[in-house]
Structure 1
């Protein structure tokens, strides 16, 4: 397969202190042929100042796609970011997920036609999230289990995500009971396939909005491959004030209809078909 450049689409909303750490992580990637498209769902000026500083002082190629704050409208800004992306292969992640330095290279190495890659994350508590510095990211200390334990992390089975390489990573990816899905904080696939299903359903709010596009991709014939022990990112702590019971119920009904009717193309996506 010929070399492919990637577009990394990072969603964010008013978390500049976390986004800064994430962008430090992308500055030290071993694979360099990628752009960053920041899908900004209405952040205030502080986020723009941060992004403009990175554009000026960083080697990263960054596009900032912004929309006014009208509540949780992540699906809309993601569709705009998809349109703005320049490359054939898309990696979706969040502005609170620090990538290990092989994050992009592993997504590129493992890519296959007619497949999407389903990654995971290693969740950190608030004090540890705050303790990570630029030095820790640039030297990759924060991805070392011993460093994390020194800073208060309790070891559990999930720590295998940080210690699995080679055969161990393959084995755990292959035999994990966790289902491979479209998880918006760590997933990748081909832009053409995303466009074929018309992107994200813009009726969806928080709660399963990423799973719904994954279900339409599967209806199209795309398979999902588990790579949660290969494409590693640290998920920084944050509250979820946008949880909404009514929105969750609406999302469930949309997903139910997608599954029942085997929907491939949403009429409420990048191109409005209604």
Structure 2
């Protein structure tokens, strides 16, 4: 199984560097890392080019012009470039524990997709992490969802469940087979601005007959603190999301196929 790890980013090279560094230390390296860049400036390009010089696996910069928040399009372009059979999609503001990729690989099952968890780092500890060299641990201060830091085979077996709904959808830590992403036509690019593009894709995957594995106590990402994005487009995006539910959609019209045909 080839794994493509897709990392989304936009104009925050300091956080992206933390993510790329943590990927280098994985016990199981992905086949490739694709940075899905929604229009960052030249300093992000320079950072990625510097990493490409000696990165331990294939590192690709997938960039699109900055014409507003277009996360769906950015992810679709990265998926189209991916050589892997299996896709792990994370945000470029996550510190990934060393077993992150291996845990996702172990959780992968046919006819399923995986929702991973996250730990929320507060502003104080985030400054330490961005500053370099600091690794959050269970007893660190300024952490929410601390229980998710437990990396346990036993607890994971007990608490990992099939949950076929879109509740607690987190696009920052998500995994699926590439063929399943293609079958639903990827992310819906009618979404612009923050909100609901992840949940709407989950609805279409469920409508296609796939099961959602809600993975606990494994493959958790540590989210670096930042201010929330604008919710200005949320009402419009909510309508698109609700339409997928009402019409029992399995595919979107404005999606991945424009890059793969």
TM-score w.r.t. the length of structure 2 is 0.92
- Provide the C-alpha distance between the structure 1 equivalents of 2:128 and 2:52, rounded to a whole number of angstroms: 25
Q: Which aligned runs of 4 or more in structure 1 are off by greater than 4 angstroms?
A: 178-182
Picking from 132, 135, 148, the partner of 2:133 is: 135
Alpha-carbon offset, residue 180 of structure 1: 6.1
Q: 2:231 aligns with which of 221, 240, 243?
A: 243
- Structure 1 segment 80-159 matched on structure 2, within 5 A: 80-132=77-129, 134-136=132-134, 141-142=135-136, 144-146=137-139, 148=140, 152-153=141-142, 158-159=145-146
Identify if the C-alpha distance between structure 1 residues 38 and 175 changes in structure 2 by more than 3 Å, giving closer, same or farther: closer
Alpha-carbon separation, structure 2, partners of 1:191 and 1:22: 22
Distance 2:210 2:253 in 1: 19
Measure, in 1, the Cα distance between the counterparts of 2:253 and 2:168.
22
Q: After superposition, what is the alpha-carbon deviation per residue over 1:216-254, rounded to whole angstroms, capped at 9, x for unaligned?
A: 01000011011132111100011124321xx21111111
Structure 2: distance between partners of 1:254 and 1:204: 8
Tell me if structure 1 keeps the 8 A contact 2:30–2:57. no
- The match for 2:174 is 187
Aligned: 1:268 with 2:254: yes
Q: Secondary structure at the match of 1:80?
A: helix
Q: Distance in 2 between matches of 1:255 and 1:174?
A: 24
Tell me the CA shift for residue 134 of structure 1.
Answer: 4.2
Q: If the length of structure 1 is used for normalisation, what is the TM-score?
A: 0.88
Quote how far apart the aligned CAs of 1:270 are.
Answer: 1.6
- Within the alignment, does 1:259 sit opposite 2:256 as a pair? no
**Structure with greater helix percent:** 1
Partner residue, 2:63: 66
Contact 1:118 1:180 in 2 (8 A): no
5 Å-filtered alignment, 1:142-221, equals: 142=136, 144-146=137-139, 148=140, 152-153=141-142, 158-174=145-161, 182-205=169-192, 206-221=194-209
- Contact 2:166–2:202 (8 Å) recurs in 1: no
Could you list the runs of 5+ residues in structure 2 that have no partner in the other structure? none
Per the alignment, residue 216 of structure 2 pairs with 228
**RMSD of aligned residue pairs (Cα, Å):** 1.9
Determine the C-alpha separation between the residues in 2 that align with 1:235 and 1:18: 10
Q: Secondary structure at the match of 1:51?
A: helix
**Number of equivalenced pairs:** 255
Q: Show the counterpart of 1:24.
A: 21
